Amino acid sequence: MKYYLIAGEASGDLHAANLMKALKKLDTSAEFRFWGGDLMQKVGGTLVKHYRELAFMGFIEVIYNLRTILKNIEFCKKDIDAYEPDVLIFIDYPGFNLRIAKWAKEHKYSTHFYVSPQIWAWKENRISAIKRDVDHMYVILPFEKEFYEEKHNYKVHFVGHPLLDAIATRQMVDVEKFKKEHNLDSRPIIALLPGSRKQEISKMLKTMLKVTDDFKDHQFIIAGAPSQEPEFYAQFIKKKNVHLAIDKTYDVLSLSTAALVTSGTATLETALLKVPEVVCYKGSSISYQIAKRVIKLEYISLVNLIMGREVVKELIQKDFNRKNLKIELQKILEPEHRETIFNGYYELEKKLGGAGASEKTAKLILDSVNN
């Protein structure tokens, strides 16, 4: 069968790539055309547009780039028509994907959404479009099934979280080789995960790096995004105890004692790899003020949202500063505090429903098409 997938971010690239692998196991004639990234490209098929061309962050940034976004939407519709896929698979990225889903449903395509838009956080009115335009929804967070089925009378499939698969199947790092390649010594490592988009990385790293002089008995390593060049990070690395590893996030985390992590999927990855973390976020002032008024959540990190309580500390906007970072980083290096975090992480893993999300979703997609 012919599959057309649309992923607009680094996390979507990861989940889509694993789904594609699972589909290939069940459908030996599978052909893929997709919007995504390097991981999807490694699985095979035709890359239409890379997610780094699509990732616009924040309300104001989206407005500035609206013309480009609209052009991409029109191009995508024409490309789908030319390809004539048997199945359309949307991976998160709701602002773009729900527009395509509406058009696709009108044109009789089979529509599947893997990784639900976070309408439980904001834009809950999108439920009407989802019920109208999405034939099958595959959710990865345990509370989403109840949200859709009990609150909105819309049947969904809870498949578990695909990060459990990605982490379980990762290659183990050669510690000595990794340390040699990245000029690391024997001191404990603190990981810095500043995000994947240029504007996000710039904002986050400038503050994260302010605490490096306060922890001279540790060394810091930036987990660089695969979509960015090493030269981009070079402007931030001006100290001897700060290093860079591009596209090696799991290796970095598996060797780290603690981490400072920008809010997003990485907060969950860090928790599943059992690394105590401080969650950080800072957006533009205007975007933050808008978000504060429309997003009605007690927490911003997936770890705390899933658990329904504070397992990891969140430093947001003005609270994200050197003083607070130093305090919270010191805390997560203390044995007693670390033990509390680890206990929360083990509970979190149980809630996520076990491994096999990619395989479950692939089978459900094929069953729905063949029946």
Summarised one tens digit per residue, pLDDT across range 200-226 is: 899 999 999 999 999 999 999 999 998
Q: Same domain, yes or no, for 69 and 200?
A: no
Distance CA 319, CA 195 (A): 18
Do 34 and 62 belong to one domain? yes
What domain range is 57 assigned to? 2-160+356-370
CATH number of residue 116's parent domain: 3.40.50.2000
Phi first, then psi: give them for residue 242, nearest 5 degrees: -120, 125
On whether both 153 and 208 belong to a single domain, the answer is: no
**Average pLDDT of span 173-199:** 94
Please compute the mean of the pLDDT values over residues 338-350 and round it to a whole number: 96
Q: What average pLDDT does the structure give for the chain?
A: 91
Quick one: 220 and 199 in the same domain?
Answer: yes
Helix, coil or strand: residue 240: coil
Q: What percent of the chain has pLDDT over 90?
A: 77
Q: Does residue 365 have a pLDDT over 60?
A: yes
User: Based on the domain organization, do 151 and 173 belong to the same domain?
Assistant: no
Least confident of 43-47, 136-140, 191-195, 354-358: 354-358
Whether residues 126 and 192 share a domain: the answer is no
> For 111-150, what is each residue's pLDDT tens digit?
999 999 989 888 899 999 999 999 999 999 989 999 999 9
Specify the number of domains making up the chain: 2
pTM for the model stands at 0.81
**151, 192: one domain:** no
Is residue 277 a contact partner of residue 260, using CB atoms and an 8 Å limit?
A: yes
6 and 134 fall within a common domain: yes
Shared domain for 142 and 190, answered yes or no, is no
Tell me, yes or no, whether 70 and 182 share the same domain: no
Contact indicator for 18, 358 with CB cutoff of 8 Å: yes
